[in-house]
Structure 1
Amino acid sequence: MIQVLMNWNDIREGVCDINSRLSPSDTLADARKFVRTRLCGMPAAYVRIVSRDNVNLRSAAGMKSEVITQLPKGLAVAVVSRDDRDWLEVSFNRDGYVIEGWVSRKYLTRVR
């Protein structure tokens, strides 16, 4: 269990580092390529890229849940939980703070 937690922290820190190096003008394809080439051995299954602009990050899975913030297109997020069929719980770093919430799967794309 400790090893899993240590790996998760490495994944989360890697995603935060990747986002700090992505420019906002990158296309979705450029963002995917950048993340894919710089995952440093982290499993791509734990990373998703936001595929549209102004995607709502919510406090819980569901359209009626409170909106925490909006995510820009091309943002790399770490997957915290895949337990819901239509939603993913994700985490990302903004201004030095780790923010977690839920995003509809249809607005996130896998790193290939």
Structure 2
Amino acid sequence: MRLRSAPSMKGEIIEVLPLHQPLLIMNRDNRSWLFIRIRINGEDVEGWINRAFTRAIMK
């Protein structure tokens, strides 16, 4: 799953996340993309991921 700088396949790839990586969803208003926050190497990083590559594990 690719974390991108913008909600588009053309957005710069910030990081490639491992499969089954828990995410904190910050904004879900976009129908195709989720704005998320994740901790990478001790730092909080925000970006966009395509909804098609996610599933909810709790609500």
Shorter-chain TM range is over 0.9
Higher helix share: 1
TM-score, reference length from structure 2: 0.92
Higher strand share: 2
TM-score, reference length from structure 1: 0.50
Percent identity, please: 34
The equivalences for 1:1-112 within 5 A come to 55-112=1-58
Deviation beyond 4 Å, 4+ runs, structure 1: none
State the AA in 2 paired with 1:57. Answer: L
- For structure 1, the 5+ residue unaligned runs are 1-54
Q: Would you say how many aligned residue pairs link Structure 1 and Structure 2?
A: 58
* Cα offset, 1:104, TM superposition: 0.2
* Cα offset, 1:94, TM superposition: 1.2
When Rg is computed on C-alpha atoms for both structures, the one with the higher figure is: 1
| RMSD between aligned residues | 0.8
- For structure 2, the 5+ residue unaligned runs are none
CA–CA distance in 1 between the matches of 2:39 and 2:4?
15
CA–CA distance in 2 between the matches of 1:83 and 1:75?
21
3-state SS of the aligned residue for 1:109? Answer: coil
3-state SS of the aligned residue for 1:110? Answer: coil
* Cα offset, 1:83, TM superposition: 1.4
